[in-house]
Structure 1
Amino acid sequence: MSAEVMDAPPQLVPLNAIFSTDFVEILVPVTTANTMDEVAAAVADHVEGKRVRAQPFRKVVVHRGRKLPGEMTVAEAGFAPLDHVAVEYDLEVPA
């Protein structure tokens, strides 16, 4: 990633997201500086404990079929506005 991109102020990136077994897709505002752990938490905040029962597992962001590392930023993932992500419970690793 270029130095100009790394030094740029965070930009708003609205994402279409669905959480685990929820049936409602939501629009979640995140920034290019947010990590995948923060994106997962932002999505879960709208759904977990409301329409989907909370589970004691770590949450992961899935984009185009791949699980993204929790420390990866939105900018590093290359998300574009209105990209679709899913947030799933990682059943292999306890929180």
Structure 2
Amino acid sequence: MAPLPLSAVFEGDFVGLLVAVDDQDSVAVVGQKIAHHVVGRRIPARAAPVGVRYDGRVLDPDRPIGEYGLGLLDHVEAFFDEQGVRR
């Protein structure tokens, strides 16, 4: 277990974030940590899971974020996955 600070944005928001995650956090947990700072504040809540994109691809929500080889301050994007489909 190691801390992994990431640069992040939530789709549709205008504020960039610095989010502290652990490299063993699942991608789903990382998405929720990003959403915590945005959803219900600047973006309305939705009944949809939160997905995470890195380098243009959607990450598997069940895998640990550390398995993707992200480094300190790499940039990820969280989004509402309305159809529950990995885009």
Is the structural similarity TM-score above 0.5? yes
Counterpart in the other structure of 1:68: 59
Give the C-alpha shift of residue 93 in structure 1. Answer: 2.1
Please list the CA deviations of residues 16-49 of structure 1 after superposition, one character each: whole Å capped at 9, or x if unmatched.
Answer: 0001211000000001110000000000001100
RMSD: 1.2
Alignment gaps of 5+ in structure 1? 1-9
Matched, 1:16 2:7: yes
Alignment of 1:29-48 (within 5 A): 29-48=20-39
Larger radius of gyration: 1
Which structure has more strand as a fraction of its residues?
A: 1
- 3-state SS, counterpart of residue 16 of structure 1: strand
Alignment gaps of 5+ in structure 2? none
| Identical aligned residues as a percent | 33
- 3-state SS, counterpart of residue 81 of structure 2: strand
Query: What residue identity is the alignment partner of 2:61?
Result: G
Which structure has more helix as a fraction of its residues?
A: 1
**TM-score normalised by the chain length of structure 2:** 0.93
Deviation beyond 6 Å, 4+ runs, structure 1: none
Counterpart in the other structure of 1:5: none
Matched, 1:85 2:72: no
